[in-house]
Structure 1
Amino acid sequence: MRRILFPLGLSAILVTPVSLADTIELADGTLLEGTFVGMSNGIMMFDTGAGIEAFPEDEVVAIFNSEGVAAREAAQEAVPAPKAEPAPPPPPKTATVASGTRLVIRMSEAIDTRRHSSGHRFRAQLESALMVDGVTVAPRGTMLYGRITQAKSAGRVAGSSEMAIEFTDIMLNELMYEITTDGLKAQTGNEAGRTAKRTARAAALGGLYGGSSSAKKGAKVGVGASILTSGASINIPAGTLVETNLRAPLTVKL
């Protein structure tokens, strides 16, 4: 049995006594009278009058106060229970837009092969919301960003104009997500033999709609629709609707 004696002066820093004239019964049958001081970290403190002794909890059978009531349980109840660890936050909810999903997009800025070269960035917006299992992942009006991957204007007398574009990013809940879409390409016919003043033939752009006042009158709506070219350049006006598809899945936080 281990008994540690503390000087009386230390009693001031220990737990307030539960009662006076207490009796402690040890596992070897020893009975000691004095004052039960308190318990901490499995050690019971008992003031015998000659000093404060410490007994491991497993060596104490019981502690009785002056009325014969066991005080050990009361002391244990006074010790605060350890705080429970907070539950980890739930994992963030996500949704995945499948590869091949159709995107209908309205151009926010005009692009023209006369003024813009390969690498030029432009903005656009979703014309219709993206849905996954009935949940709106990207509402109508969501901002998209694209770039010109190819731009070439025909010469004044001969040659053809070309433009290719793709969409690279989408902004959702102030987070930018990288996307990969099918590229869209337009090309005018070779203008050899025509004067520079004549309007070049309309360029066929896959997925481009003639939705602008400057679009060619009577242009078909749908894949392969035509747009108006100005002189020897290709111009896609702001407000024009284009259609493309995701080439890779898009996973976003909800």
Structure 2
Amino acid sequence: MNTEKKVWFWATALALTLAISQPGCQQAGTPPAEESSSGTLSQPESATPGEAPSGQPAAPATQAARPPAAPRQAPASPAAQPRAASPAATARPAPPPPRTATLAAGTALKVRTTTTLSTKTQKTGDAFAATLEEALTQGDWVIAPKGSTVEGRIVESDPGGRVRGVASLSIALNRLKTTDGQTVTISTGNVAVEAKTTQTKDATKVAIGTGIGAAIGAIAGGGKGAGIGAATGAGAGTAVVLGTRGDAAEIGSETVLNFALSAPVTITEARE
């Protein structure tokens, strides 16, 4: 009997201990309910599955495993994109070859002198300059425009004889300046001029000398003296003619002359 009482006593004590400790455990694990304005206690809202209560760190939500998404490529920057070729970078057509012209022998060259050429001032071999009076062309190519410089030389400068000879001057062209600045060597025929004849002037000088001599002789010795004076005067007049050269041969400034090529010449256009 004593044994049964002891068992009952300890069972009752254990039950009371459990009953007393259970409310304390619940208060420690559950936050106190907030009192609403109406005086009733509000129960804490139940947390959504996967969502942590307020004030606590969120627990990672368990989701079904998904394959990782492919990384998106960033758009290419303007510098990385190929640029359209600029017009300057595109291949340009090759320029046409330079033009070439062959001027045949006999091609006319009309020039204008810029200074006076004379046997008094020019000697054989001297150089002179002139300009083209007409452009030199072939098709639509102006090889040398009007006004281009041409050069020449004095082929012969002969001042002439004492009585019967007359002065003569012969010239030719040897260089031509083209439109593109080239100086081309050419060969032309000669252009020659002669001085005016002086036979009339010479006869007048002799006649004047004869008349003066006759007048002096007549004064000195009558008729015989006049004959002697005429002969003496004629001799003096002839001596004056023999001691004097004729007029110079000249080509005046601004004179237009016509030349012709004596040999063909090939001209090739110059390119920079």
**Taking structure 2 as the reference length, what is the TM-score of the superposition?**
0.45
Larger RCO (CA within 8 A; separation ≥ 6): 2
Task: Return the structure number with greater helix share.
Answer: 2
Mark the structure with the bigger radius of gyration: 2
**Taking structure 1 as the reference length, what is the TM-score of the superposition?**
0.48
Task: Return the structure number with greater strand share.
Answer: 1
